[in-house]
Chains A and B, each alone.
Chain A
Amino acid sequence: MVAIPSRHKSLVLLAGVIVLQVLMLAVQIKRDSEGRLIRAWTVGAVSPFERAGSYGFGSIRDAWRHYLALRNTAKENEQIRHENDALKLQISQLQGRAAEADRLAVLLNFRQAHAEVPMIAARVIGAGAGTASLTIELDRGERDGIRKNMGVITPDGVVGKVVEAYPNASQVLLLTDKDSGVGAMLADSRIQSPVGGQGEPLLAMKYVPNDDAVSVGEQVTTSGMDRIFPRDLPVGTVAEIKSGNPFKQIRIKPAAHLERLEEVLVLLSLRPLDMRKEENSGDAQPSTPGAASPPPTVRR
C-alpha cells in the first residue's frame, strides 16, 4: 500500500470529500428523488429548533415593536393625529361646500323656473348689530341694481325687503321685524290680509274676520297687493288661530328659514310682478307692468 505523507493527508481528504460531493450532485441531477432522505432527516432534526427560534425572534420583535420602539410610534401617532385633524377640517369644508352647492342649485333652479322675473342672487354677509331690528346684510348693492324697497326671497318663501342700498352692500328688513309686512292671502280661501312681523319667530295675519274659515296648516302666499312681491310666493303656514274681536288672531310660521339664511334672491324690480302668470302661460299676455316689460336679464 502506498504511504501518503502526513502533510498531504488533509489534501487527499479534501479531494476525496469534494469528489464525493460532486458525485452526490451528479446523482441528484440525474434522479431528483435522491437526497430526499438526508433532507428529511436534517429538516426533522432542525425544524424544532427553527420553530423555537422563530417563536423567540417573533416574541423579541413583538416586544421591540410594542414596548421598546415607542418613540417612533409616538411620533407616528402625533403625525396621524395631525393628519386626522386636517382631514376633519377638510371634510367639514367639503361638507360646507357641498351644502352651499345644493343651496345654490336650488336658487338656480328657482331662478330658471322664473326666468321672466329679474332677480339677482346675493350672499348674506352679516346680521343686524342690535336686537332692535331684525335685519341682514347682503354682499350686493346699488352697483348690482339693488334699490330700496326691493323684495328679497328664497325658493322657500318671502324673506323681507331691502331697507337700505349701499354701493356694494344692502340691508334687508326681515319679515319677522315689527315694522315689516307683506300683502298676503290664504291659499285655499283666497282671503286677503297683510301679514306682519312681531319681533319674534312667528308672523301675525291681521284683519281676518271671525266668520271666515281658516284652518291650521293652511298655506299663506303673497297677494301682490303690496306691489313689492309678486303673487303666490309662499309666505308661511298657519300655525295658531285664536278668536279675537273683531278679527281672528292668526299666527303664521314663515316659509323661509329666516334664522339661517345664507343665499337669497333680490327681485330687481320696483314694479308689481306676477310670477304665476309668467310661470304658467308661456304665450299669455302679461297683466302687470312688471311682466309687460322686456324679458329681464338674470344675473348672479
Chain B
Amino acid sequence: MNYAFEIRGGESHIEVHKFRAGAIIIATLLALVIQASFPIHFAKAAVLDLPLIVTIYFGLSRRNPSTGLLLGMLIGLLQDSLSGPTVPLGLYGIAKTIIGYLASSIGGRLDTEHPAARFALTGAFFVAHQGLIVLTRRILLAQPEPWFNMHLVVAALVNGLVAVFLFLLLDRLRRN
C-alpha cells in the first residue's frame, strides 16, 4: 500500500494515490489553522472552507470510502471544536463525514485529475455540504436556515476555483 496502484473494474482505470508520511495530518492542521486565522485579517476569506477542500481532495485521491468518511469526521469535529460554543460538535462532523464518503466513492468511479472536474466536483460538494448543514440545523437543532441564496452560489464558485489551485499544491505531497 505504499505505492500508487490501479483498480481495474470492468473498463475503469482508476489510480489510487498514497501520500508522504504525515502529509494528511499536516495538511489538515494547516487548513484548520488557516481557516481560523485568515478571515481575521482578510474578512472576505471567510467564504472559503479549506477543511472541506482538504476533505474532498483526500477523499477523491484515496478513493477509500471508509478512510474518506473517517477523515471527514475528524476534520469536521475539529472544525466544530474550533468554531465556538454556538456550533455544536457534530454539525460540521456529520456534513464532512458524508462529503468524505461521497468524495471517496465518486473518486473511485471518475477521473478526478482534470482541473475542470475538480472545479465542478468541489463546487457541487460545497453546495451539498451546506445543504447537509442546513438539514442538520433544521431537523436536529430546530434552527431555521434558508436552503439557498446567491451567496452560496458565489461561495461554491470561489471554493471550486481555489480548490483547482490548492489541489495542484496537494498533488505534490503524493508519493510517486
Which residue of B33, B77, B101, B136 has the most chain A CB atoms within 10 A of its CB atom? B33
The residues in B between 74 and 120 inclusive whose CB is less than 8 angstroms from any CB of A are 77-78, 81-82, 85, 88-91, 93-94, 97-98, 101, 104-105
Residues of A within 8 A of B90 (CB): 21-22, 24-25, 28
Interface: B140 (CB within 8 A): yes
Q: Is the CB of B140 within 8 A of A25?
A: yes
- Given A18-B94, A18-B97, answer yes or no on A39-B85 (Cβ-Cβ < 8 Å): yes
Q: Quick one: closest A residue to B94, CB to CB?
A: A21
Distance from A169 Cβ to chain B, minimum over Cβ atoms (Å): 66
> Does the CB pair A28–B36 fall under 8 Å?
no
The answer to whether B34 touches A53 (Cβ under 8 A) is yes
Interface positions of A from 140 to 168, Cβ below 8 Å from B? none
Query: Which residues from A are CB-within-8-Å of B73?
Result: 17, 21
Is the pair B82, A28 in contact by a Cβ cutoff of 8 Å?
no
> Interface with A: B64-72, B154-162, B163-171, which one?
B64-72
User: B92 to nearest A CB, angstroms?
Assistant: 10
Assess whether B32 is interfacial by the CB under 8 Å rule.
yes
Query: Which residues of A from 1 to 46 have beta carbons under 8 Å from B?
Result: 9-11, 13-14, 17-18, 21-22, 24-26, 28-29, 32, 35, 38-39, 41-43, 46
* CA–CA, A25 and B73, complex, Å: 14
Report Cα–Cα, A46/B35, bound state, in Å. Answer: 11
Question: Bound state CA distance, A155 and B97, in angstroms?
Answer: 92
Quick check: which of B15-23, B37-45, B123-131, B145-153 contacts chain A, the rest being far away? B37-45
Question: Which label, helix, strand, loop or mixed, suits the secondary structure of the B interface?
Answer: helix
* Distance between A213 CB and nearest chain B CB, rounded to angstroms: 86
Give the Cβ gap from B30 to chain A, nearest Cβ, in Å. Answer: 8
Question: Which bucket holds chain A's interface residue count?
Answer: 20 to 34
CA distance A234 to B18 in the complex (A): 105
The tally of CB-CB contacts under 8 A between chains A and B is 98
B78: shortest Cβ distance to chain A, in Å? Answer: 6
With A25-B140, A38-B77, A50-B36 as known contacts, state yes or no: A58 contacts B69, CB within 8 Å. Answer: no
A38 to B87, CA, bound (A): 13
For chain A, residues 48 to 85, give those with C-beta under 8 angstroms from any C-beta of chain B.
Answer: 49-50, 52-54, 57-58, 61
Contact for A46 among B33, B41, B93, CB less than 8 A: B33
Docked Cα-Cα span, A27 to B70, in Å, equals 21
Known contacts A21-B73, A25-B90, A57 near B37 by CB under 8 Å: yes
Tell whether, in the assembled complex, residue A10 and residue B69 are in contact, meaning their CB atoms are under 8 Å apart.
yes
Residue of B nearest to A12 (CB): B66
Residues B140 and A26 in contact, CB atoms below 8 Å apart: yes
A14 touches which of B37, B42, B78, B98 (Cβ 8 Å): B98
User: Taking the nearest CB of chain B, how far is it from the CB of A65, in angstroms?
Assistant: 11
CA distance A26 to B94 in the complex (A): 13
The distance from the CB of B41 to the nearest CB of chain A, in whole angstroms, is 5
Residue of B nearest to A11 (CB): B65
In the complex, A156→B11 CA distance in Å? 110
Instruction: Give A58 to B41 CA distance when docked, in angstroms.
Output: 7
By the criterion CB–CB under 8 Å, are A39 and B89 in contact?
A: yes
Contacts of A21 on B, CB cut-off 8 Å? 73, 77, 89-90, 93-94, 97
A203 to chain B, nearest CB (A): 75
**Least Cβ–Cβ distance between B148 and chain A, in angstroms:** 23
Which B residues are closer than 8 A to A by beta carbons? 29, 32-34, 36-38, 40-42, 64-66, 69-70, 73, 77-78, 81-82, 85, 88-91, 93-94, 97-98, 101, 104-105, 136, 140-141
Mind listing 19 A-B residue pairs with CB under 8 Å?
Answer: A10-B65, A10-B105, A13-B66, A17-B69, A17-B97, A18-B94, A21-B89, A21-B97, A22-B94, A25-B88, A25-B90, A25-B140, A26-B140, A38-B77, A38-B81, A39-B89, A43-B82, A46-B78, A53-B33
7 closest A-B pairs by CB: A42-B81, A10-B65, A53-B37, A21-B90, A25-B90, A49-B33, A35-B89
